[in-house]
């Protein structure tokens, strides 16, 4: 499988700060690659360097084996986290305006169908809902028939149904062969959309792989959850790894029956105990020490 995008030893210095410290990764053609990290991890700076928005202090970005340049700019599409749309023009006019900036152009009908904008073409940009606006911004990122698409936290602020509708759009675009680099603050989004993820902290990539590979590497059991308010005393005698996160106690165990027997004398209410598989949120918390939105 060809490598669509490669970052090689990217570094970014600001006065007194090394924001990105030797980041390297490659993205095979046709996958959705997630770059995750808490605020201040260097994720946004890394993506801006790859996009060409910010200059690196050192390191290189390669697009299909060559230094990213004119070809990259023509064939990449970007949906920024915050994009100002022109007031007093319609959805159709917005797409046409951005489409005219490229030599390489997608067909209008194709963009409209891909992003489910058929009923909104004559609507003023100012009258779009959050989900409709994100669909328009995705359409803007697709005007040049991109082989590589950057999606920077595309569902932030959307309601649950709008988020899932947007996931369907992203999956349909990926199914057509596009390569996607996604940043997100939602672990369920990364687990649904991403074939591979890299987690950054303190300017470095601390782990990388498919979600299943990373979870199997980190965990070999299940997680028991219960509210910390239901504890009657501490759990220092429990022979398993215990975490506290947002008022919830999490016990990682390979023997649920034994752990429940140990927990029962320390809990006032057993009705709220949950047993579940580890997920990417757990992995992120364990590796970085804080939640993704911290």
Show me where the domains of the chain are located: 3-215, 220-277
Q: Average pLDDT in the 80-96 region?
A: 89
- Listing from the earlier edge strand, what are the strands of the sheet with 248-253? 241-245, 248-253, 222-227, 274-276
pLDDT of the residue at 15? 94
pLDDT of the residue at 221? 86
pLDDT of the residue at 97? 95
Report the alpha-carbon distance of residue 50 to residue 68 in Å, rounded: 8
- Whether residue 292 has pLDDT greater than 90: no
- Each residue's pLDDT tens digit, 10-53: 999 999 999 999 999 999 999 999 999 888 889 989 999 999 99
| Banded model confidence at residue 245, pLDDT cuts 50, 70, 90 | confident
The residue count of the chain comes to: 294
Give the dihedral sign, CA 133/95/145/6: negative
* Homologous superfamily assigned to 3-215: P-loop containing nucleotide triphosphate hydrolases (3.40.50.300)
pLDDT of the residue at 293? 44
Mean pLDDT for the chain?
90
- Each residue's pLDDT tens digit, 118-140: 999 999 999 999 889 999 999 99
Spatial contact of 72 and 52, defined as CB atoms under 8 Å apart = yes
Exposure string of 37-51, with b = 16+ CB inside 10 Å and e = fewer, is bbeebbbbbbbbbbb
- Whether residue 291 has pLDDT greater than 60: no
In this structure, the strands spanning 3-14 and 58-63 are: antiparallel
pTM: 0.87
pLDDT of the residue at 240? 65
Q: Average pLDDT in the 243-256 region?
A: 83
- Each residue's pLDDT tens digit, 196-220: 999 999 999 999 999 999 999 988 8
36: which 2 tokens? 């995750």
pLDDT of the residue at 290? 61
Beta strand ranges found along the chain (DSSP E): 3-14, 17-28, 32-36, 58-63, 66-67, 76-79, 148-152, 179-183, 196-201, 204-209, 222-227, 241-245, 248-253, 274-276
Q: Average pLDDT in the 185-195 region?
A: 91
94: which 2 tokens? 């917005």
Provide the greatest CA pair distance for the chain.
70
Rg of the Cα atoms in the chain: 22
pLDDT of the residue at 248? 87
Dihedral in degrees, nearest 10, Cα atoms 145, 160, 156, 198: -70
Spatial contact of 102 and 133, defined as CB atoms under 8 Å apart = no
């Amino acid at each position: 499988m060809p490598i669509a995008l490669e970052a090689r030893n990217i570094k970014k210095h600001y006065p007194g700060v090394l924001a990105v410290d030797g980041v390297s990764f490659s993205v095979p053609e046709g996958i959705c690659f997630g770059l995750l990290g808490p605020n201040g991890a260097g994720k946004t700076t890394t993506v801006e360097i790859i996009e060409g928005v910010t200059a690196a202090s050192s390191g290189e970005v390669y697009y299909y084996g060559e230094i990213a340049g004119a070809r990259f700019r023509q064939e990449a599409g970007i949906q920024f986290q915050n994009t100002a749309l022109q007031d007093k023009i319609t959805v159709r006019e917005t797409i046409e305006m951005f489409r005219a900036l490229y030599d390489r152009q997608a067909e209008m009908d194709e963009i409209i169908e891909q992003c489910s904008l058929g009923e909104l073409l004559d609507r003023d940009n100012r009258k779009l809902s959050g989900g409709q606006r994100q669909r328009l911004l995705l359409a803007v990122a697709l005007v040049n028939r991109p082989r590589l698409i950057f999606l920077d936290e595309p569902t932030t602020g959307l309601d649950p149904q709008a988020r899932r509708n947007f996931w369907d759009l992203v999956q349909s675009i990926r199914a057509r062969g596009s390569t996607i680099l996604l940043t997100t603050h939602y672990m369920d989004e990364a687990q649904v959309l991403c074939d591979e993820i890299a987690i950054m902290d303190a300017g470095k990539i601390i782990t990388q792989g498919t979600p299943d590979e990373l979870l199997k590497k980190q965990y070999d059991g299940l997680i028991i959850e219960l509210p910390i308010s239901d504890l009657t005393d501490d759990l220092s005698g429990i022979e398993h790894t215990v975490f506290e996160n947002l008022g919830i106690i999490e016990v990682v165990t390979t023997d649920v029956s034994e752990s429940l027997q140990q927990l029962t004398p320390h809990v006032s209410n057993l009705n709220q105990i949950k047993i579940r598989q580890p997920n990417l949120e757990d992995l992120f918390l364990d590796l970085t020490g804080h939640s993704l939105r911290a």
